[in-house]
Amino acid sequence: MVDDREKNYETMSVEELQAELKRLKESLRDLEETHSFTFGKTTVHIGAERAQAMQEEYEEECALYSGQIAKIEGILKGKGG
């Protein structure tokens, strides 16, 4: 899950932002790989309702990660990093 604690990216150093950006990108990649494995490469039988709920949760998490990544990238651009 995405860390729900509100982080104040504006007060972080360039190095901290770069580390956080790397962590978020790795987490997003892990999430995508897990989702791909669960829905594309296994014969796991799950009900349609559960599959829909899992897909919605996946999309929500991806959006949260992507939003945080975009925010950090924007701040880094502004800081010249």
Identify the CA nearest to 32 among candidates 65, 69, 71: 65
Domain count, the chain: 1
Domain of residue 29: give its range.
Answer: 9-79
In a domain, 52, yes or no: yes
Within-domain flag for 41: yes
Residue 37 resides in a domain: yes
Q: Checking phi first, is residue 80 left (phi over 0); if not, alpha (psi -120 to 50) or beta?
A: left
Q: 9 pLDDT exceeds 80?
A: yes
| Residue 2 forms part of a structural domain | no
With cut-offs at 50, 70 and 90, classify the pLDDT of residue 19: very high
Report field, pTM of the whole predicted structure over 0.75? yes
Distance between CA 80 and CA 11 in Å, rounded? Answer: 15
